Structure 1
Amino acid sequence: MLDNTDLFHDEDRLFLGNIFGKSEGPIRQHFEKRLAELGINQTTALSILDIESRTLTGILDGTQKRLDFLALLKFAHFLNLSPEHVVSLLFKKLQTGFKDELEEYKVREFIVNNFDLNTLHKIGFLDSTTDFKHINERLISYFGYKSIFEYESEKFDSALSSSTKRKPKDKLTKNFWLKSARKNASKINNYFEYDRGKLFEYIPKLRWHSMNEEKGLYQAIRDLFKLGVTVIFEPYIDGMYVRGATFAVNDKPAIALTNYTNYYPSLWFALMHEIHHVLYDWELIQLESYHVSGALDLFSKEEVDADDFARSCLVPIEMMKDVVPYIGNSTFVREFAKANYIHPSIIYIFYCWDNQDKDKKVWGRFNEFIPNVSKAISALNGNPWQKRRSIKEITQQRQEEVFNGL
């Protein structure tokens, strides 16, 4: 008699251990039909197959956890069936008898193909990269899904439309950020009508708000809300290239800002950049439902135009010409910025951008005059990744703390 030689890994045993039916089914029917054709009983069949009774019983009843594949091959020959046909019968049984286990596997496969778990763990969104029950529950809870597969229905990139292939990590992270941002924006009830004309009129006031490092952006966001434009802040995630995004939410513009460079003036530049898209690309955004300012289209005409618009609104060329000769005099720059209703860091960052190719030390010389975003975003609902709350709960807080009372 052949013993049950351990030819395969535990995973293979678990996979095939219980795939045969415990009641009448194709495998048992073929076996009993074959006994009748040969006019033999089960004991004789065991001798022919040279396998133990418990092995055969395990195969027929689906209780054999350690399967000798040589015994399975003999069994296929005994039934006068090809090994391929026997395997196909096993897979058919697997799909019906082990539906729950297969669904759990599909969830795990979907998750690893659509999320960069290490990054989500690093930013504090996940507690573990291996506890898939926790991961699935966290993602479903955060987005408000009934099933994780709903994530695929919200596409931003055609290259991300298939869940059967692992995508580049940066695209996974970008897609997560975009879906989170749009979902957050869509949950905010902006009850004001979007007024393009009034948005044009308001733009000069935006520069003035930049002077208040702690509350200026907060107040600008409240003002824009009353013009039908919802603005939210979503923390930047390392590894993605997103400078900002504009969405069409209930036929109104919604802008998501992020701290791509972590510089305070960059937030204002990004806001003005996205406002340009609202003003001049709104029909296209409505058609496609979103616009992302990122690496792929950095040098497109639309992006160049948006950058030029943002710069001209913040520090027009003539104003920049007046201050550049005195850029090394911090007192002059500070007073000049105050007189022109602009935060001085915006002048400094434009100067650094303009001169970084010919002066490698320019950022180091003026870095002390360019604050980070911490003060500006402190009033904007904190970091959603590190709190175990859903988007619904986060946006409820946003609505209460930022937009209510308008």
Structure 2
Amino acid sequence: MKNIDIDKLLQEIFQDDSEFDVKKRFEEKITEYGLSKTKALKLLNIDKDVFTEILNGNAKQPNLIHVVKIAEFLNVDVHEFIKMVLKNQNPENIASIDRARKLKFLLMNFDVKALTKEGFFDAENDVDDLVQKALNYFGYKSIREFEEQLIEPLYSRSKRQFSDKMKDFWVRSAYQSFRLIDNPNPYDRERLKEIIPLMKPYTQDVENGLFIVCRALYNVGVTVIFQNYLQTTHVRGATFFINEKPCIVITDYLKKYPTLWFTLLHELHHVLFDLETIKSNNYHLSDDQDLFLIEEKANSFARDFFMPIENFNYIKSYINNSYMVERFAKDNEIHTSLIYSFYTWYQNELYGKNYHAAFKEFYPDCKTSIKKLNPISWSDDSIKTSSDKIKVVFELK
């Protein structure tokens, strides 16, 4: 028996106006076979009352085996016979099937508990409300449209590299945002190479620096968006390839201002040097342990861009002298928090010393730096609304 498409089946129940007289078909068949009704039901091992309830739609939970046996006896396609049986069912039974379909959709695609904690779902909502929230957020009218237009294009080129529903949600959200923004500027690698060396001084402007840099990147065909970090995903950023252009998404992972800049440079390295790999998969998450070498090169690129090891060796003797650190940061055209952040990393990497709780007073609020870029929040009504706001920001003249 072929797989039953419940979504399609439920649509057909309400759209199909054709009439199929099962009782008449049954009478024709027992006449053709030379059987009485009693004998036929005995051979089928179906009680007379059960048979009548199935045909009349009175059976509260029709036995699937009985339904299949009757369909075979009548020489009717099982899918068509099930449709007929369902069409005769009372509204409560139809609603319960529809609810089961929606529940399957939610459980297969979303970590409802985690997303409720994040504020995406409302704890008071029922299944219908949860499904509607998900469809509205991604901009689709039905479960079928969601599955056909969002999932397949995203995962069709390669095997999915994870089964984590929260990562799945994060990826889908970013993917749909980039599709809706649809950067009209062609990707210009040479101009990107010219922009990157000019980026450091903008780290000093906490309020406007990222905003200015991301607009410049947009103009050379590289779209950068910010999504709120999702608990348990451990993803600080990713690079996508959509509509023949590179796209970068960054989170507020660790809630640290230096991490935003480090992640941006990390992803720009992927754009410059790993675009063919990303093209083959549609996207690359920057926590991918299977691509360790690519990740380490991108990390080194970002680290050396802001604070190569020789700078660490110089400043480590003065790290507790805020005046010296501030002057050193100014000489290197970067924000002081980046000095402290990379100092912390080098101490842990080279000497196993943990300074992660130190220098907090020198780290600005990362929310300030991404505010003008309208970061995507899980409490937003829809990706389209968020994407429209982002696009306006990037295309302001």
2:57 to 42, 55, 62: 62
- Residue 266 (structure 1) shift: 0.6
Deviations 1:225-263 (A, max 9, x none): 122211111111001132211122322221111122221
The amino acid that maps onto 2:30 is K
Task: State the match for 1:205 in structure 2.
Answer: 198
Q: Please give the alpha-carbon distance, in whole angstroms, between the structure 2 residues aligned to 1:258 and 1:107.
A: 30
Q: Please give the alpha-carbon distance, in whole angstroms, between the structure 2 residues aligned to 1:278 and 1:255.
A: 9
- Residue 126 (structure 1) shift: 1.8
Task: State the match for 2:86 in structure 1.
Answer: 98
Task: State the match for 2:16 in structure 1.
Answer: none
Q: List aligned pairs for 1:191-230, cutoff 5 A.
A: 191-230=184-223
Contact 1:139 1:148 in 2 (8 A): no
Task: State the match for 2:269 in structure 1.
Answer: 276
The amino acid that maps onto 1:404 is E
- Residue 283 (structure 1) shift: 2.7
Determine which structure has more spread, i.e. the larger CA radius of gyration. Answer: 1
Contact 1:121 1:129 in 2 (8 A): no
Contact 2:225 2:375 in 1 (8 A): no
Q: Please give the alpha-carbon distance, in whole angstroms, between the structure 2 residues aligned to 1:399 and 1:145.
A: 20
SS of 1:310's equivalent?
helix
Q: List aligned pairs for 1:33-182, cutoff 5 A.
A: 33=30, 57-65=52-60, 85-86=69-70, 92=79, 93-98=81-86, 105-128=100-123, 131-146=126-141, 147-150=145-148, 151-156=150-155, 160=160, 168=163, 171-182=164-175
The amino acid that maps onto 1:148 is F
Q: Please give the alpha-carbon distance, in whole angstroms, between the structure 1 residues aligned to 2:86 and 2:134.
A: 25
The amino acid that maps onto 2:334 is I
Q: Please give the alpha-carbon distance, in whole angstroms, between the structure 1 residues aligned to 2:195 and 2:208.
A: 18
What is the percent sequence identity of the aligned residues? 34
- Residue 277 (structure 1) shift: 0.9
- 182-191 or 110-119: bigger deviation: 182-191
Task: State the match for 2:334 in structure 1.
Answer: 342
The answer to whether structure 1 residue 302 and structure 2 residue 261 are counterparts is no
The answer to whether structure 1 residue 405 and structure 2 residue 389 are counterparts is no
Task: State the match for 2:322 in structure 1.
Answer: 330
- Residue 84 (structure 1) shift: 7.4
Q: Provide structure 1 residue ranges, at least 5 long, that are not aligned to the other structure.
A: 1-21, 77-82, 162-166
The amino acid that maps onto 1:85 is K
Q: List aligned pairs for 1:364-403, cutoff 5 A.
A: 364-388=357-381, 390-400=382-392, 402-403=393-394
Q: Please give the alpha-carbon distance, in whole angstroms, between the structure 2 residues aligned to 1:40 and 1:224.
A: 77
**What is the TM-score normalised by the length of structure 1?**
0.76
Q: Provide structure 2 residue ranges, at least 5 long, that are not aligned to the other structure.
A: 1-18, 88-93
Structure-2 change in CA distance of 1:84 and 1:183 (3 Å): closer
Contact 1:235 1:258 in 2 (8 A): yes
- Residue 190 (structure 1) shift: 2.6
Q: Please give the alpha-carbon distance, in whole angstroms, between the structure 1 residues aligned to 2:224 and 2:196.
A: 15
Q: Please give the alpha-carbon distance, in whole angstroms, between the structure 2 residues aligned to 1:287 and 1:96.
A: 45
**What is the TM-score normalised by the length of structure 2?**
0.78
Contact 2:199 2:213 in 1 (8 A): yes
The amino acid that maps onto 2:198 is K
Task: State the match for 2:26 in structure 1.
Answer: 29
Structure-2 change in CA distance of 1:24 and 1:262 (3 Å): same
- Residue 186 (structure 1) shift: 2.2
How well do the aligned residues superpose, as a CA RMSD in angstroms?
Answer: 3.7
- Residue 279 (structure 1) shift: 0.9
- Residue 104 (structure 1) shift: 5.3
Q: In proportion to residue count, which structure has more helix?
A: 2
